[in-house]
Amino acid sequence: MKNNRNFLFYGIGSVAFGIKGNAFSWFLFFYYNMVIGLPAWMASLALAIATIWDAISDLIIGYSSDHTKSRLGRRHPYMYAALIPVPIFFVLLWNPPTFDTDFNLFLYLLIMAILVRTFTTLFEIPNQSLGPEITREYHERTKMMSLRYFFGWMGGTVMTILMYFVFLKPTAEYPNGQLNPEGYEIYGFVAAIIMLVAMIISSRGLNHLIPNLSKPAANNNFSEIKDELKSTLLNKSFLVLFIGGIFAGMAAGFSSALNIYFNTFFWGFSTFQIGIVSIVAVVPGIICSMIIARVLSKNIGKKRAAIICGSIALALTPVPYALRIFELAPSFGSNGLLLMMSSYYFIEVSTGVAVTILVSSMVSDIVEDSELTTKKRSEGIFFSAQGFSAKAVSGVGIFLAGLVTSLAGLPTNAKPGAIDDNILINVALYFVPIYMILYLFSIYFFSLYKIDQDTHESNLASINER
């Protein structure tokens, strides 16, 4: 019962990260490009640079929190330090002043994106790193990570639903609500408040763990720090997850940045219809992913479960685009098309989130595998490096999205239904093969992971014998 309470507060800690991730993946590029009018290549470049910096800051914060000594333990000082900056900079990101030049707007987006990402990471990495200490049991970790990803995804999805049903409702001035700048500005304020409340609840809820958490081992010089990082990051099971995460991160950044473009222009959905997709497909998909991850993990192990779920998601990727290109899909913007895409998104979310849950649980098991060699617990390093692999290259994925829209000739400030269909088809023809190749490589590297339940329990027994 006590662990369930800890799992709950641990899960709530991901709400802020989920909202931020959803905002950057779904709305920010579109907002600055199609609503404010910043050229696609400049918007994507600013977000790519910010993402690469965020990846670097992950490693710095992860290592620092592993070695911080304070009366609040290793993790909580960073979590509390992030509480005020995160909501302030998030509001500023969505409420830019008017600039005379695109370059000044580019600089503003770059600076605000870096600040939001950095301070969200200041909370997320230490908070996530508490997980392996909350429980060391193989299947309990999958349950715990399921809750964390449930709250993270629900935070982002609830804000998406509010965005499409409340903030971006069509008006006389903006019959297509996605192009209404005021909706994005209000979104920034509401999301910032929810992020702050969630971070406070998680930080306070896990505060009682501090006396029983592991204490940091001191490093006396640069050589020791270098040796520790080398022995930690060269763990074989971690390396394959790290490389797999690089390809998965590129695929995710690429797909997410183009998602709103496809929904708005390729499928022709209204704001109301996109909101419906979030309710009938994404929310049930998130819940289903928790069940899939836990059931498959218990029956066939985490690695095999991740491979199966990833393979299903990969195989389905080209289907809706092929149906649309060959004119076999229901008509543009119709309820029939909405039903088809809702079914597709449900399966995609169910399997895709299950993979993420399982891989994060696999990272948790690497902590003890590494501890046998290094004699140190390095949760912060592992979770920050996992974040690094995804973030550093998701920026590349976002930049790829900008290049694809530019190469295909997608115009700025375009109206749904007014774009040449050949342009939209070209975007899809660029997207599908690139995405599938990236995702295929990620599944391959995940398949090389070596730690199963027997190995994990053996590692725990060896550590306890010391």
Q: What is the DSSP string of 142-198?
A: HHHHHHHHHHHHHHHHHHHHHIIIIIT---SS-SSGGG-HHHHHHHHHHHHHHHHHH
Sign of CA dihedral 284, 286, 290, 292: positive
Most confident of 162-176, 205-219, 226-240, 426-440: 426-440
- Residue 400: the pLDDT is 84
- Residue 133: the pLDDT is 86
Q: What is the mean pLDDT of residues 13-28?
A: 91
Q: Which amino acid is it at 450? A: K
C-alpha–C-alpha distance, residues 109 and 103, integer Å:
10
State yes or no: pLDDT of 164 exceeds 90. Answer: no
State yes or no: pLDDT of 412 exceeds 80. Answer: no
Q: Which two tokens stand for residue 457?
A: 């329990």
C-alpha–C-alpha distance, residues 253 and 233, integer Å:
24
- Helix axis angle for 335-374 and 302-316, nearest 10°, is 150
Q: Look at the domain 7-207+227-464 and name its fold.
A: Growth Hormone; Chain: A; (1.20.1250)
State yes or no: pLDDT of 234 exceeds 90. Answer: no
- Residue 253: the pLDDT is 81
* Residue with the larger pLDDT of the pair 320 and 418: 320
C-alpha–C-alpha distance, residues 40 and 425, integer Å:
18
Say if residues 362 and 303 touch (Cβ distance below 8 Å).
Answer: yes
Q: How much of the chain exceeds pLDDT 70, in percent?
A: 95
Q: pTM (2 decimals)?
A: 0.81
Name the least confident of 125-134, 169-178, 362-371: 169-178
Domain boundaries, the chain: 7-207+227-464
C-alpha–C-alpha distance, residues 249 and 62, integer Å:
19
C-alpha–C-alpha distance, residues 186 and 147, integer Å:
29
Q: What is the mean pLDDT of residues 92-99?
A: 95
Cβ neighbors of 106 (< 8 A, separation 6 or more) are 38, 42, 43, 45, 46
pLDDT band for position 229 (50/70/90)? low
Q: Render pLDDT for 347-390 as a digit per residue (tens, 0 to 9).
A: 999 999 999 999 989 988 998 888 887 777 777 778 887 777 77
Q: Which two tokens stand for residue 138?
A: 């193989």
* Residue with the larger pLDDT of the pair 7 and 395: 7
- Residue 51: the pLDDT is 85
Q: What is the mean pLDDT of residues 269-293?
A: 90
State yes or no: pLDDT of 92 exceeds 60. Answer: yes
C-alpha–C-alpha distance, residues 438 and 310, integer Å:
12
- Residue 187: the pLDDT is 97
DSSP 82: T
Q: Render pLDDT for 28-45 as a digit per residue (tens, 0 to 9).
A: 988 999 899 999 889 989
pLDDT band for position 179 (50/70/90)? confident
- Residue 135: the pLDDT is 86
C-alpha–C-alpha distance, residues 57 and 51, integer Å:
10
pLDDT band for position 200 (50/70/90)? very high
- Residue 14: the pLDDT is 94
State yes or no: pLDDT of 394 exceeds 70. Answer: no
* Residue with the larger pLDDT of the pair 214 and 291: 291
- The 3-class SS string of 316-353 reads HCCHHHHHHHCCCCCCCCCHHHHHHHHHHHHHHHHHHH
Q: What is the mean pLDDT of residues 73-79?
A: 92
- Residue 132: the pLDDT is 86
Name the least confident of 45-49, 153-157, 271-275: 271-275
State yes or no: pLDDT of 1 exceeds 80. Answer: no
Q: What is the mean pLDDT of residues 101-111?
A: 97
C-alpha–C-alpha distance, residues 167 and 180, integer Å:
9
- Residue 393: the pLDDT is 65
C-alpha–C-alpha distance, residues 213 and 18, integer Å:
26
- Residue 389: the pLDDT is 72
- Residue 219: the pLDDT is 57
C-alpha–C-alpha distance, residues 348 and 364, integer Å:
24
C-alpha–C-alpha distance, residues 256 and 83, integer Å:
27
* Contacts of the segment 17-20: beta carbons below 8 A, 24+ positions apart: 17/120, 17/123, 17/124, 17/152, 17/155, 18/151, 18/152, 18/153, 18/154, 18/155, 18/156, 19/155, 19/156, 19/159, 19/191, 19/194, 19/195, 20/90, 20/116, 20/117, 20/120, 20/195
C-alpha–C-alpha distance, residues 82 and 74, integer Å:
15
Cα-atom radius of gyration of the chain, to the nearest Å?
Answer: 22
* Residue with the larger pLDDT of the pair 30 and 343: 343
C-alpha–C-alpha distance, residues 90 and 184, integer Å:
12
Residue for token pair 């069509």: 170
Q: What is the mean pLDDT of the chain?
A: 89
Q: What is the mean pLDDT of residues 225-246?
A: 80
